[in-house]
Amino acid sequence: MDFLTPDLKWYTAISNKRGVQPRCPFATIEKCPRNYQSLSLLGIAGLSTPIQKDEDERLEKYWKSTDIWPKTAEQETSISGSNGKKSDFSNFCPEVSFDRFGYFASYLGRYNSEIDSGNAVELYTKQGAPSGHWCWNWAGVTELHYTDCHLYSIILHREGIKSDGVIKESHTAKSEWKNTRVDRYLKKMKNNRLLSVLVVIAIIIIAIGTLTDAISRISNIFI
């Protein structure tokens, strides 16, 4: 069994590979509805410090007026369970789940009973699960990197949502995306000598061509 652990090392390794910021640049209650929902529900459930009531009401009204607020129950961020226990956390912001539970995940589900937990511990002990793996405390975890969140691509190209619900393009986001692409190309050149040499040769050829053209134009002036 592959004991993947969606911890900070796993998360930042993916970010580095994809040439993006280590953590989600939109992980705030003002920038992302999923981040807001996740934090709000944790507070309501008594699992973290709640957002101040008037602020929570303002944010809920604000996000519900937008086109990126979940429209179906399946899309909603939720906390559920039985017998008064909060055991299932669905459609969570991975940034919030990490800060609260230690794993970057969209879903986390507890074991249904102590018997299930005991059986799992016995099984994973035999399989040699690492101590930091989620299997010791959770029945299931769905890892998620922020770039794989469906809201990320939408928010990336938007400046944000105004109080009246109007959306406009984000020049900052566009610039960040372009800079990220440039960084990736520069890294490729740095790690590939042949590519670097070819690029330099191409630049020299273009420069020679430009210089030759300039000399030709100057010569024509005096002829």
Which residues, other chains included, contact 191 with Cβ-Cβ below 8 Å and sequence gap of 6+?
Answer: none
Residue 23's pLDDT is what? 98
Determine contact, residues 139/110, Cβ cutoff 8 Å.
yes
Determine contact, residues 178/192, Cβ cutoff 8 Å.
no
Q: How far is CA 196 from CA 69, 144, 184, in A?
A: 46, 35, 14
Q: What share of the chain is helix, strand, coil (3-state, %, to 5)?
A: 55, 10, 35
Q: What is the pTM of this model?
A: 0.70
Residue type, 201: I
Residue 185's pLDDT is what? 61
Cα 151 from Cα 182, distance rounded (Å): 24
Whole-angstrom Cα Rg for the chain: 25
Determine contact, residues 93/34, Cβ cutoff 8 Å.
yes
Spell out, as residue ranges, where the chain has pLDDT lower than 70: 1, 159-190, 211, 214-223
Residue 199's pLDDT is what? 76
Residue 77's pLDDT is what? 97
